[in-house]
Structure 1
Amino acid sequence: MSGHSKFANIKHKKEKNDAAKGKIFTKIGKELAVAVKEGGSSDPSINRRLRDVIAKAKANNMPNDTIERNIKRADSDPSTYEAITYEGYGPNGTAIIVETLTDNKNRTASNVKNAFTKGGGNVGTPGCVAFMFDNKGQIIIDKNSWEKDADELMMLALDAGADDFVEEDDSYEITTAPDDFSGVREALEEAGVEMVMASVTMIPQTFVTLSDSEDIKNITKTLDMLEEDDDVQDVYHNWEE
């Protein structure tokens, strides 16, 4: 997957997130609540899923007191969130996957459909585009934050159970099987490795380039509408921005 400016895209997304921290924190707060309830404990030392969400929260600069407040609130929060994934097509056959956490399926389905329609696309059936992506743990490390030899970082990751290690111009990318992600992330964290991003994600097998300005305008509209929706947790696509 080399050469698709993943690090640049992540930095760009973080800059957008910095302008809307309240919304990002609300979404992560929802993930923290779900992790507590599904993991059966508010103690991250025994709840691996909660540890992973806390790492995501810290990567998005959520303050520790905000993280702790959301975890404590989860025990008394009566809300029940359901995870629903939508798949569909954007301009020129671009593939889009939308992961949501919702307490109102009708509202979420309507909003997701509207976002696709406004951008000239359409929601498809479950599985219609998922086969175009690989479900992987993905860890991105800024080269400037790792002062030691790249081989040392590679061996650290591979020894912890990583599947692959790729050196880019400005970053290192480590990929894992979903079940091995937590162990690899924790091994890197214990070694003092700073991670720009660390999550289980959907990685496109191939990318689609859009050259028509109207297509670019439409897919941008769809992605912006989805990412602004409070019920939408993550959006994956194979458009090479």
Structure 2
Amino acid sequence: MQAQQENNYSSSSYTKEEISKLESRYQFCGHPLRITRDFSSNLGISAIIWEAGLVLCRYFEQEKISFSGKKVIELGSGTGIVGILAALLGGDVTLTDQLMVLNQIQFNITNNIPVSIQQRAKVSTLLWGDNLDQFPINYDFILGSDIVYNSRDFPALIKTLQHLSNQNTVIYLCSKMRESMGAIEFHEKLLPQHFNTEIVHRTADKEINVFKVTKKGLDAIENPLM
């Protein structure tokens, strides 16, 4: 029953007074965004608007990417800024994170997505590598920004990407290339074992990359040297 309750998380489980008023404002693709970070709870890094998330939003704007009519899932949504923009750009978006973060995400969905289209965005707990059977495998897009920073999580992250994707899924990962946290190893060694990956955008200082990732064919995975 717990999983069902988590996957049907609703805005009725929080009050405005429970969210601290640390708001940042942005505009992407013509959409003004007011993103509130909940520092009243012990969310740690999940209450930070990471630069990689902003870079990914700018990439969507620069490339005029549309998610209209597409099924989208975001991993490690945090404040929800990337997934919210994807919903505003027409996507049917599932924003995922740990249970304690859902309150913050839902608050920002309510504040940024018009009531008439809020059905496009839902929040759900997703524990990488664990509760994957609760999620389908027919997503058109998978999004993730600054989720590659702990090498202990890399096997679970790859397992999650494998489950959620099919041959037609496009994955956008935006990462700050911190060598000390394993980002270079993940993107250059681990991920290419199972996925085709290319850098489609990088910041001027070359610290943050946007990767476009697609699943390798079965033959390529079985014969990685071919």
TM-score range, shorter chain: under 0.3
Q: Which has the higher contact order (CA 8 A, sep 6+)?
A: 1
TM value normalised by structure 2: 0.24
Larger helix percent: 1
TM value normalised by structure 1: 0.23
> Is the radius of gyration larger for structure 1 or structure 2?
1
Larger strand percent: 2
